[in-house]
Amino acid sequence: MPARTTITHAEGAPFDSGLRAFFAYRDLGIRDATGGAFGAHVIRAVPGEGAKAGWHTHDVAFQMVYVLRGWVEFDYEDIGPVRLAAGDSVYQPPMVRHREVRHSEDLELLEITAPASFTTAAAVPPEGR
C-alpha cells in the first residue's frame, strides 16, 4: 500500500522520553508513514537537565539537525566544537564520533534520520579530546 499523506499538529502533541533522558521527543509520524525508512522528531530540552552524553556514533544512512529555538553545542571528531543557534543546521555523516557538550534550557530542534530506527554506540574520544 502506498504511503498516505501524514499530518501532525503541534497543539496538544505529546513529548515522550527517548534516546536521551535530558531530551523529550515528539514523533512527527514519519516512521509510520514511510515504513521506518525515515524518522523525524521535534526534540526539546528537559528543564533542569544538562547534557550527559559522552562520545558516541549513530549507525544511520542520514542524520540532520535543525535548531528551532535556543542553542546547542556539539563536538565532532572531524570539525571540532560547534555552537548552533536558531536557524542553524548540521548534517552528521554516518558513524561520525560526536558528543553534545551543552544546550540552552529552551532548546528545541528538528531531527531527521534514515532509517527511523538506528543503533547508537559509545565511542572512544578522538585523540586529544
Q: What are 73's strand-pairing partners?
A: 83, 102
Q: What percent of the chain has pLDDT over 70?
A: 98
The pLDDT value given to residue 16: 78
Pick the CATH number of 23-97+105-122 from 1.10.3720.10, 3.30.360.10, 2.40.50.140, 2.60.120.10: 2.60.120.10
Q: Quick one: pLDDT band at residue 1, thresholds 50, 70, 90?
A: low
> What's the pLDDT tens digit per position in 36-91?
999 999 999 988 777 777 899 999 999 999 999 999 999 999 999 999 999 999 99
Whether residue 88 contacts residue 117, with contact meaning beta carbons closer than 8 Å, is answered with: no
Confidence of residue 102 (pLDDT cuts 50, 70, 90): very high
Percent of the chain with pLDDT over 90: 73
